[in-house]
Every structure is written in structure tokens, then in C-alpha cells.
Amino acid sequence: MIHVENLTKYYKELCAVDRISVDIHKGEVLGLLGPNGAGKTTTLRMLTGYFMPTSGTIRVKDYLLDENLLEIKKLMGYLPESAPLYHNMLVFDYLDYVARIRGLDKDQRAIRIRQLVDLCGLDTP
């Protein structure tokens, strides 16, 4: 379960996300809809620990984001439009990089990357 309470993010004076609260239970699918600049990407980046919120609470399972960031990153999957760290990194290289960080050995990495490629349709021209 993901529990979000009063999630807020400011960039200097600009409020990008304003007090979002939501509970997402196992098996549920949630879509974030809105125009460009509505805070969708910022919200996802906060939920996955790439950005820290200005205020509010994010809890994944029994872990608080600000206390257990590494544990939450192990539980969450996030496939951004482009690699958030290395903009010129190829998708397969990025997936391998993340799998290494998560401690998968060579065989496990190959299997998991293939699963993700199939799931996301990354090998479809």
C-alpha cells in the first residue's frame, strides 16, 4: 500500500504540487491526468524518492520515505520518459544499471530486463 498525505512540493515560490492525499492499495491502478505543468511528473518523482517533498507524508508499506528511502526504492518501479541521471544513457543500459544497484546477479538481471522489455513493449519497433 502507498499512503500519501498532504504532499506538497515548492520550487522556490512556485507550488508544483499542492497537498495531494491518496491511498493506493495492492492491485489498484492509478492514473495521473492533467495538462503540462500540473505536477504529474513531480508527484511521481516524489513517490519514487527522486525528489523529496517540501512537506507531507509518503508511506510505502510500513516505510516512511524520509526515513527509509533505500527500502522504498527497492519496492518501487519507475520507468521515466528519459533516464533521470544520465540523459544520454540507452534504455537497456539504464535498466541494467538499476538492476545492478538492486543487487541482481548477471543471470537475474538478464531475466528481469527481458521481463520488463516484454511488459513495456520496448522491443517493438
Burial of 58 (0-12, 13-18, 19+ CB in 10 A): buried
Q: What is the pTM of this model?
A: 0.68
Domains of the chain: 1-77 (3.40.50.300), 79-125 (no CATH)
pLDDT at position 52, please?
93
pLDDT at position 93, please?
87
Q: Which residues of the chain have pLDDT under 70?
A: 81-85, 124-125
Taking a C-beta distance cutoff of 8 angstroms, is the pair 30, 12 a contact? no
pLDDT at position 38, please?
93
pLDDT at position 98, please?
85
pLDDT at position 53, please?
96
Containing H/E element for 41?
A: helix 40-47
pLDDT at position 85, please?
66
